[in-house]
Amino acid sequence: LSTLGPGPVSQRNLGQVLGIVVALPVESRTLTRRYGHVGETLRLGPDIHVRIAGMGSGPAVAAAAELHRKGATSLLNWGCAAALSPEVTPGRLLMPASFILPDHTTVHCDPAWWRRLNQPLADLKPAVTPLASTRTILATPQTKRKLHQETGAMAADMESAFLAQWCQEHRIPFVAIRAVSDDANTAVPAVVQGACGRDGTIDLWQLLRQLLRHPGQTAALLRLGRQFQYARDTLVAAADRLLPMKFCLP
């Protein structure tokens, strides 16, 4: 894979428009300093558009359809993922070549684009194992372990496989780049779940109220925050490599 370089990007991607789907505003901030809101599209240039979808398969597919309607010729899913196995730790970059749906159907990324993206990211040592997608938050180590046993996937999110399936149906090149934000043994604290809206955004005031009621969960919240920071740093490092190359557009 490392012998396949990105090539003459400026010529190859002439007329190409990249649509990037992220679930949360905090994930979009690894691509741009501008702070956006769920439902907003941010431009990284004339041919790279970032849509902040909100969490889950429905919002992600709706965002993909909107980006495609507005001219996107390729789609990238970008953001964080949960580890299902101790083999992948917080901050590990994920470049899955395939994705596993809840019914265990496997769908694939665009292989040529995936190979081109791997070279500029090689020093970050991305894991290329399949990524599972779920319809619910994996809130406990037990649910993570169960999904790992059922699918063999090392990590999971709530969007990528559904987007890969949609892109396959619409004949649109697709890849996903993720970073692990919580390890296989980390539970999502109840105070976070209680402050999480349907779109995945956190109500900070509600989170503070929850912490006042349940101060014993502060340590778990801080641990989750540290792990997320590792993921954020990795995504920023990946963006620094890929943005000048326009993500090696197909």
Instruction: Tell me what the pLDDT averaged over the chain comes to.
Output: 89
CA gap 99, 163 in Å, rounded: 10
What pTM did the predictor assign? 0.88
- Give the model's pLDDT for residue 219: 79
> Rounded to an integer, what distance in angstroms lies between the CA atom of residue 207 and that of residue 139?
16
The pLDDT tens digits of the residues spanning 188-224 come to: 777 676 667 776 677 677 767 777 787 777 777 788 8
Cα distance between residue 244 and residue 230, in whole Å: 23
Nearest alpha carbon to residue 132 among 100, 106, 162, 163: 100
What would be the CATH architecture of the domain defined by 15-186+226-248? 3-Layer(aba) Sandwich (3.40)
Give the pLDDT of residue 7: 33
Q: Domain boundaries in the chain? A: 15-186+226-248
What integer pLDDT is reported at residue 195 of this predicted model?
A: 61
